[in-house]
Structures are given as C-alpha cells and as structure tokens.
C-alpha cells in the first residue's frame, strides 16, 4: 500500500507541476485575448478568449483534483480521494459543452448580421494565442496521457488551439477578401470539432460516477475464466465491478466451491487470476460451500 501511495504521490507532484505551469500561461494570455477581442470586434477571438477562460478554470480544477486525489485514505474516505479526478472531469466536460453551445448560438446570430472585424489585430493575437496554446498542450501531453482529468484539461486547450487557428484563418480571409461571415462560420467549425470529444469525456466520467462496470471488463468471460482456472470453484455469481477512480477497479463476487476445498488456496488462486488476467487487484470474494442464500444472487 505504501508503494501505491508513493506512486500516486509521484504522479500527483509531476501532474501538479505540469498543470500549474499550464494554468499560469493560459490565465495570463486569456486576459490579453479578451481585451483584444472586444477592441477588434472579432467573435472568433472572443470565442477563443471564452475557451481560455474556461481553460483557466478547467486547469485550476484539474490541478486541485490532482492534489486532492493524491491524499491517502482516511477513516471517512476509505478508498481515498481518487474520485475527485472523475468529478473534475465531469465538471470540465459539462463546462466545455456549455461554452460550445453559447459560441454556436452567437455564431449563428452573427452569420445573419456580420459585424466589422479588425482583421490585422485579430491576426497578431491569433498567432500569439496559437503559440501559447501549443506550448500548453505540449506540457499537458507530457503529463499522464491516460488520466481522464488531464485529458479533459487537454481537450479544453485543444479547443483553444483550434479557436486560435480559426481566428488566424478568418483574419487572413477578411484581409484578402473583406468577407466578414468567415469569422462566425469558422467558430461553428471549431464547435463541431470539439463537441464530440467533450461529450465522450462527460459520458465516461458520468459512467464512473454511476458506478458502472469498466469498459474493458466482460463479466461473462471473468466467470468462465475463474471457473476454468480454479478447479475448486463450481460457480461464480453476484459479480459487481466498478471504478473508484479513473483506473482503479474494485470487485465483489460470490463463488460456490466444492465441499472440502481449501478456502485459503481458492482465495489466493482466484485473486491471482483476477490480477493477472483482468488487472483487478482489489477484490472481495465470498466463498460458499453450499447454495447462495443472498436474495440478490443471480
């Protein structure tokens, strides 16, 4: 257990540094981009600033979640604080969907009445924004790429990067042709590009919060494997598996065993199979020498 806490603590320290640096860059440039978008009258630039505002909040939430998630279990939270990361992912995903919806509605309105845009100013700030977004995105990718909390923050930053690219393209088109509708049109394109990924993150985090089973686990296969590899087990039933955090799976199950079987050996062999074949290292197994008396048994 101490080794596990050491591993989580090391990951938290690294993830915290990465997220802290990304937060500082994002929040600083967001203020510059917001002021410039108002002055230039560009929705693409304001949309990007809006993304960066939610990014700053998302990165702050992710940073807090990493710090809290590294805390050890206590008497009130016996599984620790890993689920804080899942909650942060869910909140960040919902926030991203909300801001995308707002930008899409505003873009549609502006398509019918495109305002004047200071394309030169938009171009300068868009290029600077793209450079900062690339730097932040690279920092996050050097973090734990499998952590859904960092993945949610990365998605916010990717949305910003696409927004900056859209602002640059819109500015160039306006400078060359004077066609103002390109600004809200490209904002809609950015919304379409990021909404699917945001929806997937919300769905994954909600599934964990609802204590759904891991996507990679086939309960029927788990039953067959245990019954085949542990001869004393006659039947596996009443199986429940869920994720307490982004990756840590927990399992409870009942197993009917042959009369006279060595229960200690059965438990040891069953836990070995669960760990080696399914990556489940925390399992509670109820052994039953006779029929199952639990009404919830299948």
Q: Which long-range contacts (CB under 8 A, 24 or more apart) does 7-11 make?
A: 8/69, 8/70, 9/70, 11/70, 11/144, 11/147
Query: Where does a domain end: 158, 175, 209?
Result: 209
Task: For 243-259, give one letter per residue: b (16+ CB within 10 A) or e.
Answer: bbbbebbbbebbbbbee
Structural domain of 117? 2-209
Q: Give a yes or no: residue 293 inside a domain.
A: no
Give the model confidence (pLDDT) of 67-94 as tens digits.
776 677 777 777 777 788 788 888 888 8
Between 148 and 87, the more confident residue is: 87
Is the same domain home to 124 and 253?
no
CATH of the domain at 198: 1.20.1510.10
Instruction: Using alpha carbons only, give the angle 248, 144, 211 rounded to the nearest 5 degrees.
Output: 25
Q: Give a yes or no: residue 297 inside a domain.
A: no
Query: Where does a domain end: 209, 227, 260?
Result: 209
Is the same domain home to 9 and 141?
yes
Is the same domain home to 51 and 97?
yes
What is residue 205's predicted lDDT score, i.e. its pLDDT?
87
pLDDT at residue 168 greater than cutoff 80 = yes
CA gap 49, 32 in Å, rounded: 9
Give yes or no for a contact between 85 and 246, defined as CB atoms under 8 angstroms apart.
yes
Q: Give a yes or no: residue 295 inside a domain.
A: no
CATH of the domain at 232: 3.30.70.1350
Q: Give a yes or no: residue 183 inside a domain.
A: yes
> Mean pLDDT for the chain?
80
- What total of structural domains would you count in the chain? 2
Which helix (H) or strand (E) element contains residue 252? strand 249-257
CA gap 188, 44 in Å, rounded: 9
């Amino acid at each position: 257990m101490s080794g596990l806490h050491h591993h989580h603590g090391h990951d938290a320290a690294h993830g915290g540094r990465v997220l802290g640096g990304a937060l500082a860059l994002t929040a600083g440039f967001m203020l510059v981009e917001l002021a410039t978008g108002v002055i230039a009258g560009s929705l693409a630039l304001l949309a990007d600033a809006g993304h960066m505002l939610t990014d700053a909040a998302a990165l702050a939430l992710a940073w807090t979640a990493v710090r809290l998630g590294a805390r050890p279990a206590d008497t009130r939270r016996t599984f620790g604080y890993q689920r804080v990361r899942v909650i942060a992912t869910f909140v960040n995903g919902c926030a991203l969907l909300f801001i995308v919806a707002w930008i899409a509605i505003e873009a549609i309105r502006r398509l019918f009445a495109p305002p004047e845009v200071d394309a030169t100013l938009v171009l300068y700030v868009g290029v600077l924004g793209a450079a900062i977004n690339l730097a932040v995105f690279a920092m996050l990718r050097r973090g734990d790429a499998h952590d859904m909390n960092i993945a949610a923050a990365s998605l916010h930053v990717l949305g910003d990067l696409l927004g900056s690219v859209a602002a640059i393209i819109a500015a160039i088109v306006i400078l060359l042709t004077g066609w103002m509708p390109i600004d809200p049109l490209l904002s809609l394109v950015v919304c379409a590009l990021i909404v699917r990924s945001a929806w997937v993150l919300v769905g994954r985090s909600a599934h964990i919060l609802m204590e759904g089973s891991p996507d990679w686990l086939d309960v029927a296969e788990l039953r067959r494997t245990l019954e085949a590899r542990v001869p004393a087990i006659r039947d596996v039933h009443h199986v429940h598996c869920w994720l307490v955090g982004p990756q840590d799976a927990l399992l409870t199950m009942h197993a009917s065993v042959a009369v006279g079987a060595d229960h200690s050996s059965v438990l040891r062999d069953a836990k070995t199979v669960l760990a080696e074949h399914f990556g489940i290292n925390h399992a509670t197994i109820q052994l039953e020498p006779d029929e199952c008396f639990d009404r919830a048994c299948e």
